Amino acid sequence: MDGRPQGLIRGRTRNPPRAPRSGTRGGLLAAVTTTDPALRALAHPVRLRMLSLMWAAPLSAAELSRELDISHALASQHLRRLDAAGLVELAEVRSHRGGRERRYRTVHGTPLSDRQDGTPLLAEALAHNLRDRAARRVPGQEGVTSDVELWVAPEAWDAFRTRMAELLADLHEAARAPRAPGSVLLGATVMAFLVRADGTPEGAAGGAAEAADEDPAALTTP
């Protein structure tokens, strides 16, 4: 850990920006995702879940496919995208069933909060995961639900943002390997930021599936 509030990713600077491909929509999608491989990788709900799963312990494509209930081929594809963007790193190579299994872990560091230019794209991926987790909520268990759009003093916003980052850092510090004995599975989706009072959105928001250059059907498990 580097002492900063921790979120999901830092990312290794490894691949140079790629030129836009023909047919890519303009606006925010073209301006951001063609120059930021990490954002392209992040703007997909399955890959966001993978990063969470690999936060506390390294996992292989086979292990991720079982946890996410997707095919091994699709898990491998997503894992390659995360690796190419520098969001995961090889943790170990072990013998498994007569072969060699490569296990990866999430690169710890800068929180998703730093990805301000990709807010609309990330919002779509986060919203997808929120809907999925809400459908899997354990009945009878307490949670926290809130939706706000409030006018507050700047110092109140600064204090809230700092506390929220610290709470999320604590949660990541407490993370265990998937299905570790004595652990429970929780879901939390958080986005908090200042908004323009005139209500006019800036630029066009591309879809999470478009940002990932994949078929929209890939947003859901087969």
The CATH number of whichever domain residue 63 belongs to comes to: 1.10.10.10
Residue with tokens 């800036």, as numbered in its chain: 202
101 found inside a domain: yes
Contact 209, 181 (CB under 8 A): no
Query: Residue range 24-51: average pLDDT?
Result: 72
Q: Quick check: 165 pLDDT over 50?
A: yes
* Cα–Cα distance for residue pair 9/109, rounded to 1 Å: 5
Q: Supply the range of the domain harboring residue 124.
A: 27-219
21 found inside a domain: no
Query: Residue range 17-25: average pLDDT?
Result: 37
Task: Output the pLDDT for position 111.
Answer: 59
83 found inside a domain: yes
8 found inside a domain: no
1 found inside a domain: no
44 found inside a domain: yes
37 found inside a domain: yes
Is 101 in a helix, a strand, or coil?
A: strand
Residues sharing a CB contact under 8 Å with residue 213, sequence separation 6 or more, in sequence order: 21, 40
In 3D space, the residue among 68, 55, 90 whose CA is nearest the CA of residue 174 turns out to be 55
In 3D space, the residue among 20, 25, 28 whose CA is nearest the CA of residue 204 turns out to be 28
121 against 8, higher pLDDT: 121
Q: Quick check: 167 pLDDT over 90?
A: yes
Residue with tokens 């995208």, as numbered in its chain: 81
Q: Quick check: 2 pLDDT over 80?
A: no
Average of per-residue pLDDT values in the chain? 81
Residue with tokens 């998937």, as numbered in its chain: 178
Query: Residue range 155-170: average pLDDT?
Result: 95
Question: How many structural domains does the chain have?
Answer: 1
98 found inside a domain: yes
Task: Output the pLDDT for position 33.
Answer: 47
- Give the pLDDT band (50/70/90) at residue 119: confident
Beta strand pairing status for 88-96 and 99-106?
antiparallel
